[in-house]
Amino acid sequence: MTSDLINLAGGTFGNLLAKAPIDQPLRDIWFRSRPSATYSAAVDDLFMWIFWFSVIAFVILMYLMFYWTWKYRRSAVKKPILSTSHNTPLEIAWTVLPLIPLAYIFFKGFHGYADALIAPQNAMELKVEGKKWNWLVTYPNGEESPLFTSSTNPDSDITNTSTLASTDVPIYPVPEGRAIKLRMNSLDVIHAFWIPDFRIKQDVLPNRYTSYWFQSEKLTGSEKLPDGTPKADHWIFCAEYCGQSHSEMMAILRVVPEAHFDKLMADWAGNKPPEVIGERVYKSQCASCHSVDGSKNTGPTWKGAFGTQVPLENGSTALYDENYIRESILNPQAKIHKGYGPYSQMNSFQGQLDEKRIDGIIAYMKKLNPGAAGAPAAPATDSPTK
């Protein structure tokens, strides 16, 4: 009963403040985007409630402080008044009364936090993995998105891997108006999954799962794909510093109509040749450190590497073949490419990539050097099925 009265009083106060002419302009300045998912508006409302409460409390306290400072200033004419040792009613009042708005903030915040953690029973679950410096999303059918876009031109989807740079980001489609549960964990250090438009930020930790759920807004049709399908793109960032390329740990959550989403899932689930699987793994997990156009990055380029002799840090060489690739994926410290030591910056993918994906990477690297022995003939197109 007490919590209901507190919520009623707090809600009434919030409704009055929301009608202030300056309220919406301030929201636009601070949030920079309108709330776009379940609980987003509630987060904004609570933030503004705390802001306005703080403003009002600050003004009252500053007024009283300056007023009493002036009224009871030292004077040669007036005789100083003897102060009482304490005032029990006043002390109770200034202790209990501030607890009312603080209790409202607590109940409102905890209620929203608890609701955001408990997903509806029919929610679609996406597996989200954070690793330096990528977000990896696996759909219920086991597929991963092959879609990428340029961070400098988000409207242009990338289908040619040779143009992929370390700052290009993956696109993860989700259906509009459907509850989505994120089951998240980290493969290395602590990350934080943050979608500013959704007002979502959740820590992503190694060796344990965290979760969050949301339901996207209905599409307005203001943004469209090249084929005319409505969409809404929402940026994903890492909000926990995680190393050198922390600022480039980005992705896009793309809200699309449910029919379009179902078609994408059906297309991705089709049988794919190994090199296409390897190309998708490269885009999602390897592109931040390895190039395929010959340029130098954190790790050596893959272009033209298969079938060559690799100079190593210890002065010897190794044949860049299937065994070398597999060993480098599972035990990066075993044979370190000259110029990238003395210790490899690459983390082991032991337990993270299954045999199908490792075989796919090998097939894709063979494709990048078609002249090498054992490499397949280059196909007519370089684009994966979308």
Q: What is the model's pLDDT at position 363?
A: 87
Closest of 44, 35, 287 to residue 161, by C-alpha: 287
Q: Please give the CATH superfamily to which domain 274-367 belongs.
A: Cytochrome c-like domain (1.10.760.10)
Burial zone of 150 (CB within 10 Å; 0-12 exposed, 13-18 middle, 19+ buried): middle
- 328/335 Cα distance (integer angstroms): 7
Burial zone of 10 (CB within 10 Å; 0-12 exposed, 13-18 middle, 19+ buried): buried
DSSP tag of 71: H
Three-state secondary-structure class, residue 100: helix
- 221/32 Cα distance (integer angstroms): 20
Question: If you count them, how many residues does the chain have?
Answer: 386
Q: What is the pLDDT of residues 247-257, one digit of tens each?
A: 889 999 999 99
Measured from the Cβ of residue 220, the count of other Cβ atoms closer than 10 Å reads 8
Contacts of 185 (CB under 8 A, 6+ apart): 128, 129, 130, 204, 205, 206, 207, 208, 209, 210
- 162/171 Cα distance (integer angstroms): 18
What are the extents of the domains in the chain?
Answer: 2-77+87-117, 124-267, 274-367
Placement of tokens 């993860």 in the chain: 172
Q: DSSP for 295-364?
A: ---SS---TTTTTSEEEBTTS-EEE-SHHHHHHHHH-TTSSPBTTS-SS--PPP-TTTS-HHHHHHHHHH
Q: What is the pLDDT of residues 33-73, one digit of tens each?
A: 666 677 888 888 888 889 888 989 999 999 999 998 888 77
Placement of tokens 């601070």 in the chain: 30
Contacts of 65 (CB under 8 A, 6+ apart): none
- 72/81 Cα distance (integer angstroms): 9
- 165/28 Cα distance (integer angstroms): 33
Amino acid at 265: M
- CATH assignment of 2-77+87-117, given 1.10.3470, 1.10.287, 1.10.10, 2.40.128? 1.10.287
Q: Which fold has domain 124-267?
A: Immunoglobulin-like (2.60.40)
Q: How many helices (H) and strands (E) does the chain have?
A: 9, 14
Amino acid at 317: T
Return per-residue pLDDT of the chain as tens, 386 residues: 445 545 555 555 555 555 555 666 666 666 656 666 778 888 888 888 898 889 899 999 999 999 988 887 777 677 777 777 788 888 899 888 888 888 889 988 888 888 888 888 888 999 999 988 889 898 888 788 888 887 655 555 554 444 444 467 889 999 998 899 999 999 889 999 999 888 888 999 998 999 989 988 888 777 888 888 899 899 999 999 988 889 889 999 999 999 999 998 888 876 678 888 888 788 778 887 888 888 888 889 888 888 889 898 888 898 888 888 989 999 988 888 888 878 888 888 887 788 888 888 898 888 888 776 555 544 444 433 33
Closest of 235, 321, 332, 318 to residue 290, by C-alpha: 332
pTM for the structure as a whole: 0.67
- 244/333 Cα distance (integer angstroms): 20
